Structure 1
């Protein structure tokens, strides 16, 4: 329950609930991020909400204290902390206990409200929410207790400064080329529960830019022929046309699927979506084609730099993702398979390997290269018996014809940690090195992280560093293309750790 006060330009979060008796799955984080997005869009000074205290002296119940600590730790990860040096948490009566803090989230604006603004916010909250409980003299007392200008927040109590044990990085060698989809945010599906949102890119970018490892390059435009090389041209044409005809701010979800007669696609373009789609939760909108096409441009721009020997490491930071897009179908938030397009492009010059380390199977690459031997496809993922896309990613799917033995799947258990994951990654890298590729493309999924709302594994930031380091130690020029990862509060940290490890492994092995 979120209140918006346009007269004072602030938002007040009254209540947020993810799911009864379920925590640690990233659902609460996704909900809170949506709240923050709403507040940002309304250009408010910040987001306010109450949290019960995490001090033993203010909360007698050990169980409640434990919950309060967990709650304040959660919000501190977003920069939200209690306002201090005021009388806001003063009990209204002597019998009141465990009075709440008022917590402030600046929404990453790096600006604190003035004394005048906070006094007005205090009065508004106490009058509008607690008017029947708080007498006028109490409200005046709390309002006048604000003396700091601007207001002050409690120092971080739970957020630790992350330290990474690694060799000292020297940036006298090549930086990682960074190509960002500068049109990704035009594809913003606002429907409830749609986790593939623009904030993902910002969260990653904010963290990796501080590493000093990257150098940006603007993506260049490539023709549709590169996409047609791995996707059915009829599908590509359909996607372009249907997206162009979708009304602004509207999404079309596939709902009719031609199981019985796939030879006669529906004439109506929106209805025909099911002819080219594998699920019911990947919508078409006015900008889906444009954003997906730009993601391909980014991947090809980065691939071209590696091909021409100007870079050893490159990162296409893109959305929408692409590894679930097959030759003639889209799905799993994916429309064009940027990894496959880049692999096909690079394979014209030398041998290529794809390593998909997303939590979900890279069914798109498997489908597109299943009969080819020049592109080795490897995927480490959750077993399809419990993980999307459910119908592919089994161990016995090894390729057909000339491609027999060149598609490798490593379906893993529902629950595993970083050490267990690395044992499989080591096997995958040994198989990859036997292929002797001149170029490696990594489909990077950060949804393997602990708490991701779409995954079930327990990888931590240090695990991403080690995974990146192992991949870098192959010494193969590597293009990394962003795929999944939806736990916004840890996306950036995990990405930074992965690329630090990748750089270390490649240059300092």
Structure 2
């Protein structure tokens, strides 16, 4: 299986995030991609290539142009004030506040275009996220050209980013942009299967009113788990999208036996939908040793996840999302890909 990777992900390295009332080093760090790439090469999974450049047109098919312009200019606006630390939001337009005007001040913009404080902007963030989406689009092109599967080793991740806001370490929704690229190239239906521990709220919101993309997600129950405000089982789509959104929230402590039941149900939804292509938001923060998650999957279970996806028999793009047990992230991510390849 081909892996697409850009070393420019290193340009994004947030110094700190707010955890348990303290500013602590970010769990989302460059070494995540390093360990995965090392494992890809150790296992001889396949060739590793750099991404092609696709420009912003595919990004604008998913994301608000004002939001993307903000991402591109935010660091310059922030640093022009003499600020040298990470740019982080400090206020959000909550219920009762106006949301129809974008503030002119950078602090206002940061709040307007974010859902939380887990998205530090640095001098290299725009370069890193620009390459991450090109990594996803290059993998999608490889699949469109006939490959059974491809792995886009994206960093930063993307599934919490919605059309006009960032959040949860995510800036541009790589999986959503890739899914749209399949449709723009002639696919009639695309499915997105999200196996990250945290619900892909951004992907859900992007496609919630559409029937040409099925979104299916297995994740921690939002009653007790981030992102809290989306991911419930009764969220099934709206308008033309009714019936094309399927959430499978699971309880803390979920291990393989119960996870497998939900995975089978999600895969059945994908199979019934009969997509022309499948995009997998590949998070491995479901691992039993992940520091910010509560599931109990073991490394061998990721082979089974890959096998289940492989049995769907669809042209499949894997897009890297979360996973913060850094020492094991490479083994777990590549196990999914190896399991897929074994079918």
TM more than 0.5: yes
Distance 2:109 2:77 in 1: 13
The residue number in structure 1 matching 2:298 is 460
> Cα distance, 1:386 vs. partner?
1.2
> Cα distance, 1:249 vs. partner?
5.3
Distance 2:235 2:73 in 1: 34
The residue number in structure 1 matching 2:51 is 219
The residue number in structure 2 matching 1:154 is none
- Relative contact order, CA 8 A, sep 6+: which one is greater? 2
Which structure has the larger Rg? 1
TM-align CA RMSD:
1.2
Q: Normalising to structure 1: TM-score of the pair?
A: 0.63
Whether 1:482 and 2:320 are equivalent positions in the alignment is yes
Q: 2:238 aligns with which of 387, 400, 418?
A: 400
Aligned length, in residue pairs: 329
Task: Summarize the alignment of residues 349-364 of structure 1 with structure 2, pairs less than 5 Å apart.
Answer: 349-350=186-187, 351-364=189-202
CA contact (8 A) 1:208 1:495 kept: no
The residue number in structure 1 matching 2:72 is 240
The residue number in structure 2 matching 1:153 is none
Distance 2:218 2:303 in 1: 17
CA contact (8 A) 1:450 1:458 kept: yes
Distance 1:220 1:182 in 2: 13
Once the two structures are superposed, residues 236-286 of structure 1 have per-residue CA deviations (whole angstroms, 9 ceiling, x without a partner) of: 111111133343852111011122111233211233100011012321222
Task: Summarize the alignment of residues 370-389 of structure 1 with structure 2, pairs less than 5 Å apart.
Answer: 370-389=208-227
The residue number in structure 2 matching 1:281 is 118
Task: Summarize the alignment of residues 491-506 of structure 1 with structure 2, pairs less than 5 Å apart.
Answer: 491-505=329-343
Distance 1:213 1:253 in 2: 38
Distance 1:206 1:308 in 2: 26
CA contact (8 A) 2:280 2:319 kept: yes
Distance 1:193 1:344 in 2: 34
> Cα distance, 1:476 vs. partner?
0.6
Q: 1:318 aligns with which of 154, 168, 181?
A: 154
The residue number in structure 1 matching 2:309 is 471
Distance 1:496 1:319 in 2: 16
Distance 2:216 2:144 in 1: 21
Distance 2:101 2:45 in 1: 51
The residue number in structure 1 matching 2:85 is 250
> Cα distance, 1:193 vs. partner?
2.9
Distance 1:352 1:264 in 2: 34
Unpaired segments ≥5 residues, structure 2: 17-23
Task: Summarize the alignment of residues 74-93 of structure 1 with structure 2, pairs less than 5 Å apart.
Answer: none
The residue number in structure 1 matching 2:109 is 272
Cα 1:249–1:419 change in 2 (3 A) is farther
Distance 1:314 1:249 in 2: 38
Q: Normalising to structure 2: TM-score of the pair?
A: 0.93
Once the two structures are superposed, residues 310-369 of structure 1 have per-residue CA deviations (whole angstroms, 9 ceiling, x without a partner) of: x11100111100000001110000000000000011012112100000000011111000
CA contact (8 A) 1:246 1:285 kept: no
Q: Flag as ranges the 4+ runs of structure 1 deviating above 6 A.
A: none
3-state DSSP of counterpart to 1:183: helix
Distance 2:63 2:107 in 1: 20
The residue number in structure 2 matching 1:338 is 174
Distance 1:271 1:250 in 2: 17
Unpaired segments ≥5 residues, structure 1: 1-175
Distance 2:26 2:12 in 1: 12
CA contact (8 A) 2:209 2:238 kept: yes
> Cα distance, 1:420 vs. partner?
1.3
CA contact (8 A) 1:258 1:265 kept: no
Q: 1:209 aligns with which of 25, 34, 41?
A: 41
> Cα distance, 1:483 vs. partner?
0.2
